[in-house]
Amino acid sequence: MQIQQLGTPLTLLLLTLFFGVTFLITLSIGRKQENADHYMTAGNRVAFGISAASMTATWIWASSLYASATAGYTYGISGPIHYGLWGALMILFIYPFGRRIRSLAPRAHTLAEILHVRHGRSSQLILAGSNILGSLLSLTSNFIAGGALIAMLSPLSFSTGLLLIAMGVLLYTLWSGIRASILTDFVQVCAMLGAVVIIVPAVFFAAGGPAIFETGAVNLTPQQQSFFSSDAFLNQGAPYIAAVLAYAIGNQTIAQRLFAVREDKIKQTFVTATIGYGATVIGVGMLGVLALYLGLEPMGGDVNNLIPQLAASYLGVGFLCLFFIMVVGSMASTADSDLSALSSIVMTDIYGRNIAQPGSANPKLMLLIGRITMIVATGAATYIASNRLNILELLVLVGAIWGALVFPVIASFYWGRVTNKAFTIAVLAALAVFFPVRFGWVTLSGPVATVSDFFAVIGVGVIAGLMSFGFFGLRAGIATAFVAALAVLPLGMGFLHQYPVLTASLLAYAVSTVLCVAISLAGRERFDFARIAAETGRFDESQAAT
């Protein structure tokens, strides 16, 4: 089949238009009286429309579009649900915890900053370090997606595409930090969501319409034709459920928006972003299902080529331009958020709370550090991206690592007895169990498998309990945890260890929870939560530009 390309002049024109318009929008942000806090949190008063747009745009990244289509192509009609639905719930489930965090620390900049007050330096740096790793890999992944898209749809090389994308994103984000990121997200979300509204039906009808489902059914296995595919659930859905809370806790881009949005608009923002993300990503995933019905073979055997390949095969130049903007928009909106997140972590958690003397952080120096961080991060991500590593796998790994942090972090925001010692030991021990299981250094058989399955079942209970706790409180959380664990016990024993990726994540939850609770109960600490609001105040008392 003939593959359509955009040509170098048209590709450059589209990129210039996209990044040019984005940059012009950021110029509307006043810069004469810069404020370090606003560079990180936009003054904590962003309204609903713009924050919902920003949350949606940030959570939809190029890799999620590609991965959802891959899930559709691999697992059939339930595949995109098992990717998009759980990804969407990540946003929803952080919302109740988000409200608690904002009430405890209305003027904080990062989650790690709160941990610094709550526990001290080691806990703060564990969380900040994992946030930095995650954001850097996310940034790299987006750059790779951008470079690969340009290489496929134009005569330009991957490296040229990579550089164009990296420079374009840095250009406007450097200007005003998260304020630039949030303001430009509205335009980007319009481009992305608008493109999904048009492109998914366009590809469907151009490829043959409803008849595809009749002629192409022979290309699907019974599992791929089922809405209740156990393959899709166990290999795609279940590990994602385990990661739901981990991503929301470990990802500073979400936390940063949590601190930026007006406190009374948190619920509306999170619910809208949940629906927007879910429908968009599942919708694009349907292109993977279509590819499966059509019997399409991905170019070069790389499933990441599926969406561009479908678009280039069935769309004319006009729609292809729209598709190009959709992917560049998804990539840029997440990349600028990652840059803002990285800068605020370095500004707050490295400089503001550790290098500078308490109460004497220099706001101007903070801003300079933030901007230097963005430049260094862009350079590092471009360098890593040029090696075309399988970043998605690394990112999934980081997500699983975050699983070790979820219970200790959430418990620290609610339970005054959690100590720095409990937090640190619980996280490190969970990681020590996670890695050998995840990478197969330990053979899960015999008694080891039995113990592993037992703790994995506890992990299921912890995840279910935390989700319930956020919405319904402590009693419901504990009851849900026990019911979920007891329900899974007969099924999970002798079974879960066959899925090491899932088991490793569940073990991280279980070990960190058991140790955190046990060590905390053994101690006598009673933390005064009022301290958090008092000790996470402003760095910059200058009048912000408005």
The residues of the shown chain that bind another protein, judged by CB under 8 A, are: 28-30, 42-43, 46-50, 52-53, 56, 77, 179, 182-183, 186, 189-190, 193-194, 196-198, 200-201, 204, 209-211, 213-214, 225, 272, 275-276, 279-280, 282-283, 286, 289-290, 546
Q: Are the C-beta atoms of residues 85 and 318 closer than 8 Å to each other?
A: no
Q: Given the complex with another protein, which of 68 and 513 has the nearer CB atom?
A: 68
For the chain, state the CA radius of gyration: 23
The amino acid that residue 84 corresponds to is G
Q: Are the C-beta atoms of residues 468 and 476 closer than 8 Å to each other?
A: yes
Interior CA angle at 529 toward 359 and 458, to 5°?
125
- Smallest CA-to-CA distance from 41 within 182, 181, 178, 184 is with 178
- Find the shortest distance in angstroms from Cβ 149 to another protein: 20
Q: Given the complex with another protein, which of 271 and 380 has the nearer CB atom?
A: 271
Q: Given the complex with another protein, which of 265 and 438 has the nearer CB atom?
A: 265
- Find the shortest distance in angstroms from Cβ 31 to another protein: 11
Nearest 5°: phi and psi at 46?
Answer: -75, 135
Q: Given the complex with another protein, which of 51 and 309 has the nearer CB atom?
A: 51
Where do the H-state alpha helices sit in 346-419?
363-386, 391-414
- Find the shortest distance in angstroms from Cβ 152 to another protein: 23
CA distances from residue 252 to 62, 112, 176, 393, 501 in whole angstroms, order as listed: 18, 9, 17, 20, 24
Q: Given the complex with another protein, which of 177 and 403 has the nearer CB atom?
A: 177
- Find the shortest distance in angstroms from Cβ 261 to another protein: 11
Q: Given the complex with another protein, which of 201 and 473 has the nearer CB atom?
A: 201
- Find the shortest distance in angstroms from Cβ 236 to another protein: 18
The rounded distance, in Å, linking the Cα atoms of 421 and 73 is 46
Number of neighbouring beta carbons within 10 Å of residue 413? 19
The amino acid that residue 152 corresponds to is M
CA 430 to chain centre: 21
Q: Given the complex with another protein, which of 40 and 165 has the nearer CB atom?
A: 40
- Find the shortest distance in angstroms from Cβ 9 to another protein: 30
Q: Given the complex with another protein, which of 50 and 105 has the nearer CB atom?
A: 50
- Find the shortest distance in angstroms from Cβ 283 to another protein: 3
The rounded distance, in Å, linking the Cα atoms of 137 and 143 is 10
- HEC profile for 54-72? HHHHHHCCHHHHHHHHHHH
- Find the shortest distance in angstroms from Cβ 268 to another protein: 9
Six token digits for residue 418: 């959690």
Q: Given the complex with another protein, which of 166 and 193 has the nearer CB atom?
A: 193
Longest Cα separation, the chain: 71
Quickly count helices (H) and strands (E) in the chain.
24, 0
- Find the shortest distance in angstroms from Cβ 21 to another protein: 16
